[in-house]
Chains A and B, each alone.
Chain A
Amino acid sequence: MFNDRTAKFLLLAALVICVGGAFAPNWIVNQFMFGFSRALAILGLMVLWRTGLVSFGHAFYFGLGAYAVAILDSKLGVSDVFLRLMAGAVVAGVAGFLIGFIMRNYRDIFFAMLNTAISMVLFGIVVKTESLGSTDGFAISASTIFGLSPETKYPLFVIITLVGLTAALAVNFYLKTTFGKLTTAIRDNEIRVEYLGFSVAHAIHLKYTISTILAGGAGALMAMSLGQVDPESMINWTVSGELVFVTILSGPGNVIAPFIGSLVFEVLRTYAFELAPQAWQLIMGATFLTIIFFLPGGIWSLIEKLGGKKNEK
């Protein structure tokens, strides 16, 4: 598991980032926390994309994870980081597993749309329900780690980085297994995969569930980083759109890609906001178009090209 270059790089990068985070200014630490939280969800979407599926509704699971943390906090007073993370991932994963039974039979645009429909139903429910905070959402108390309440955000930052590292290593390993390699196989030709003896439906179901677990965990981490949940930022279809944007931006080439892509997205959005407060949407949209047209493999393909490696399709 630790033999290949990607894994070695991930370990080294995680170390550098954790150490660097102790000296970096707060706002950079925050950007990384948001970026890496989101990257977890992108990791899941990347697995789906390699399978040829794009979901326009993963904000459903992202939001479930975030709200699970919020509800646990307000109703049961749970504040431990790991419990919250588990809760988010498990709740979203269970939902994903159940919904996966339906989802695994769909492809292309119908897959995308059904996910959207489900996420908008959840959005409607949360907006309508005052006890869930409606559109104002509610705040989350600070996270504790094994009972200790840290003064700064640094410990949370380290945890998020380590969670990201673990997830990336796990997905990397998974993609090298037979089942993992089925992703691109299914995208290329489903019928042949069936002839090989594998059940496409089962494979897709598994990958879907993995992506929902990751999305739920991402939502939980994001909620903890922000200290706040609200439906507009976490369940609305625009959030799903954002997740897809970053997935395309990153490219499906490697598990490192989502992390780089998420960071680039954070930087891009911050500067778009600063430079053009009235036209930031235009900048984001134009960037999106540019990436789709000129860099369909995402940022990762750019990095690969710089390294002189041929771009695999």
Chain B
Amino acid sequence: MSSWRFLILNSHYFLGANNMETFLTILLDGLQFSSYLFIVSAGLTIIFGVMKILNVAHGSFYAWGAYTAAFFIGKFSDMGLPDALGFLIILAAAIVVGVILGFIIEQGILKHMYERDEVLIVLATFGLFLVLEDIILIAFGTDPYFAYQPMALLESVELGGITRDVYGITLIGVAAVVAVGCWWLLNKTKWGTLLKAVIFDREMGISMGINVPLVYTLTFIGGAILGGLGGAYIAPTISVAPGLGTEVIVLSFAVVVVGGMGSIAGAAIGSLIIGILRAIAVHELPQVELFVVFAVMAIVLVFRPEGLFAPAKPRKI
């Protein structure tokens, strides 16, 4: 039908682009930034969904993941090992950081606080964040770490009339894998059903015989691994320097708030909305780029405070 053809041929105008090339560029930019946001905030939303904890120390998982990956990529590269090993290091760094830090924090501090007011727990994670930031300074020093080898390995490609780095495009792939993986875990496995039960009603879960403390510990470690993965995968594109964790905290909060706390689909949609809006802003009206994230967050909070996809909450007297 000719009206469909018309729509498709002119769809680029929806993104404010003047032609299909710019459209593709803006779309890819949006997807890339969305993927970055999603990977970074997936862990936060899982932890909140299951444990009702808004983990400020999430920024630390990101930072530790980035530093660990950068440190070892640099070391291995100096030793002359092939650059492709970098990808393995990234995965390993995420897992190691997630397991160790996640375990220590959950068992050492959070476990003792589950009965307390949830806002108090948030404050505790804020204190933890401050401590972990300085430990990074002590452990790694103030100089930045570079781990560009994996990004350099994948080189670049011409798309949409400009040069793009392939590594950035793989980010989209990683985000997709994480998203599908989480969906599959939650909906197609027995473990996922247990998780959903605990999310919905913790007390009933306990009375049904679910080992809730184990669920909590594993969930927290899982969220930590995802946070570490975010940092580790981004490390090759940036200069890993102190203060790394602070920026992501605010961003991931925004995504999680928009998407609905505790919903993976929400985090994905929230990332997409913010990412694409920001890409359009950068290309068409750079002056408002700074506001896009917080404006969306504020609007969603005002009109739909639980977020766009929040799981239903039973009301208790």
Q: Which 7 pairs show the lowest CB-CB distances between chains A and B? A: A285-B130, A288-B127, A282-B134, A285-B131, A289-B127, A285-B127, A117-B298
8 extra interface residue pairs, beta carbon distance < 8 Å, beyond A105-B305, A286-B127: A113-B301, A116-B253, A118-B298, A120-B250, A279-B137, A285-B132, A288-B127, A296-B120
CB contact under 8 A between A117 and B123, given known A106-B305, A285-B134, A289-B109: no
User: How far apart are the CA atoms of A37 and B250 in the complex, in Å?
Assistant: 27
Whether the pair A110, B301 counts as a contact (CB closer than 8 A) is yes
Q: Which residues of chain A from 280 to 294 have a CB within 8 Å of any chain B CB?
A: 281-282, 284-289, 292-293
Tell me if A248 counts as interface (CB < 8 A to partner B).
yes
A109, A289, A293: the one contacting B122 at CB < 8 Å is A109
CB contact under 8 A between A292 and B122, given known A110-B305, A279-B134: no
B119, B128, B257: the one contacting A54 at CB < 8 Å is B119
Tell me if A19 counts as interface (CB < 8 A to partner B).
no
Tell me if A191 counts as interface (CB < 8 A to partner B).
yes
Whether the pair A117, B257 counts as a contact (CB closer than 8 A) is yes
CB contact under 8 A between A241 and B302, given known A117-B257, A121-B294, A191-B317: no
Residues of A within 8 A of B179 (CB): none
Q: Which residues of chain A from 89 to 136 have a CB within 8 Å of any chain B CB?
A: 102, 105-106, 108-110, 112-114, 116-118, 120-121, 124-125, 127-128
CB contact under 8 A between A281 and B261, given known A116-B253, A244-B123: no
Whether the pair B118, A108 counts as a contact (CB closer than 8 A) is yes
User: How far apart are the CA atoms of A128 and B134 in the complex, in Å?
Assistant: 30
Tell me if A62 counts as interface (CB < 8 A to partner B).
no
Residues of A within 8 A of B297 (CB): 117
Q: Which residues of chain B from 273 to 305 have a CB within 8 Å of any chain A CB?
A: 287, 290-291, 294-295, 297-298, 301-302, 305
B113, B122, B131, B317: the one contacting A286 at CB < 8 Å is B131
User: How far apart are the CA atoms of A169 and B286 in the complex, in Å?
Assistant: 50
**A113 and chain B: residue at smallest CB distance:** B257
Q: Which of A112, A118, A237, A285 has the most CB of B within 10 A?
A: A285
Whether the pair B306, A284 counts as a contact (CB closer than 8 A) is no
Tell me if A278 counts as interface (CB < 8 A to partner B).
yes
User: Shortest beta-carbon distance, B41 to chain A, in Å?
Assistant: 14
Residues of A within 8 A of B112 (CB): 293
Residues of A within 8 A of B208 (CB): none
Tell me if B126 counts as interface (CB < 8 A to partner A).
yes
Tell me if B54 counts as interface (CB < 8 A to partner A).
yes
Whether the pair B126, A281 counts as a contact (CB closer than 8 A) is no
Whether the pair B124, A292 counts as a contact (CB closer than 8 A) is yes
**A52 and chain B: residue at smallest CB distance:** B117
User: How far apart are the CA atoms of A284 and B130 in the complex, in Å?
Assistant: 7
Whether the pair B137, A278 counts as a contact (CB closer than 8 A) is yes
Tell me if B138 counts as interface (CB < 8 A to partner A).
yes
Residues of B within 8 A of A114 (CB): 298, 301-302, 305
A117, A125, A282: the one contacting B135 at CB < 8 Å is A282
User: Shortest beta-carbon distance, A211 to chain B, in Å?
Assistant: 15
Mask: chain B, 44-77; 1 = CB below 8 Å from A; 0 = not: 0000000000100000000000000000000000
**B142 and chain A: residue at smallest CB distance:** A278
Q: Which residues of chain B from 249 to 283 have a CB within 8 Å of any chain A CB?
A: 250, 253-254, 257, 261
Tell me if B233 counts as interface (CB < 8 A to partner A).
no
**B138 and chain A: residue at smallest CB distance:** A279
Whether the pair B290, A124 counts as a contact (CB closer than 8 A) is yes
Residues of B within 8 A of A296 (CB): 116, 120
Tell me if B167 counts as interface (CB < 8 A to partner A).
no
Tell me if B129 counts as interface (CB < 8 A to partner A).
yes
Whether the pair B294, A117 counts as a contact (CB closer than 8 A) is yes
Whether the pair A102, B120 counts as a contact (CB closer than 8 A) is no
**B109 and chain A: residue at smallest CB distance:** A289
Mask: chain A, 241-258; 1 = CB below 8 Å from B; 0 = not: 100110010000000000
Tell me if B133 counts as interface (CB < 8 A to partner A).
yes
B128, B132, B253: the one contacting A113 at CB < 8 Å is B253
CB contact under 8 A between A241 and B126, given known A54-B119, A117-B297: yes
User: How far apart are the CA atoms of A112 and B56 in the complex, in Å?
Assistant: 13
Residues of B within 8 A of A281 (CB): 130-131, 133-134
User: How far apart are the CA atoms of A106 and B301 in the complex, in Å?
Assistant: 10
User: How far apart are the CA atoms of A102 and B122 in the complex, in Å?
Assistant: 23
Whether the pair A248, B123 counts as a contact (CB closer than 8 A) is yes
Residues of B within 8 A of A293 (CB): 109, 112-113, 124
Residues of A within 8 A of B291 (CB): 121, 124-125
User: How far apart are the CA atoms of A110 and B131 in the complex, in Å?
Assistant: 26
